[in-house]
Amino acid sequence: MTLKMSAVNRFAALSLVALLAAGCSLSDRSGSSSSDANIAPAGLSGSEIRNILAGKSWRFTGPNNTGTTLYAEDGSSLVEVDGKGTTKGKWTTKDGQLCESFDPAPFLPGGVPMSCYPFSRGSSPDSYQAGKATFTVAL
């Protein structure tokens, strides 16, 4: 039973990352190489992503969860998943991707290790896409 619960917790943690940060696939990374590792294939550099997110609260909508994340300028974050609770985390950018980790919480017992997902401008004005999650500025 412990093994099954561990697998369920791991699945829940990975699902949360997918919803909070960037989608369901950890292999959704670009295979292209660039002489400037900070430039994303979609044209957003790591510093542009930091400038977009830092110091603001962002509403996220994923396939299974919604919520709000405050991305602090020091690389810490505070995440509230609607109907589930809050957790703290860390964030950074790498190779044009948003990278996040999450601390353990009652709804996320094992926490989530650092995972990175492509970050690009969304299809709506003032929106951004991180994997399968859409981000808009929280009001």
Say whether pTM exceeds 0.75.
Answer: no
DSSP, res 104 = -
Q: Which of 29, 18, 27, 34 is CA-nearest to residue 97? A: 29
Give the separation between CA 3 and CA 80, rounded to whole angstroms: 28
CATH number of 2-24+33-137: 2.40.128.640
Residue carrying structure tokens 């999650």: 133
Q: In Å, what is the CA distance from 90 to each residue of 2, 77, 96, 103?
A: 29, 6, 17, 9
Contact 13, 110 (CB under 8 A): yes
| pLDDT band with cut points at 50, 70 and 90 for residue 112 | very high
Give the separation between CA 82 and CA 62, rounded to whole angstroms: 12
Phi and psi at 127, nearest 5°, equal -125, 160
Lowest mean pLDDT among 26-35, 49-58, 110-119: 26-35
Per-residue pLDDT tens over the stretch 52-104:
999 999 999 998 899 999 999 999 999 999 999 999 999 999 989 999 999 99
Give the separation between CA 71 and CA 60, rounded to whole angstroms: 12
pLDDT score of 27 more than 60: no
Contact 133, 38 (CB under 8 A): no
Output the DSSP codes for 48-104. HHHHHHTTEEEEEE-SS-EEEEEE-TTSEEEEEETTTEEEEEEEEEETTEEEEEE--
Q: Which of 53, 132, 61, 125 is CA-nearest to residue 93? A: 53
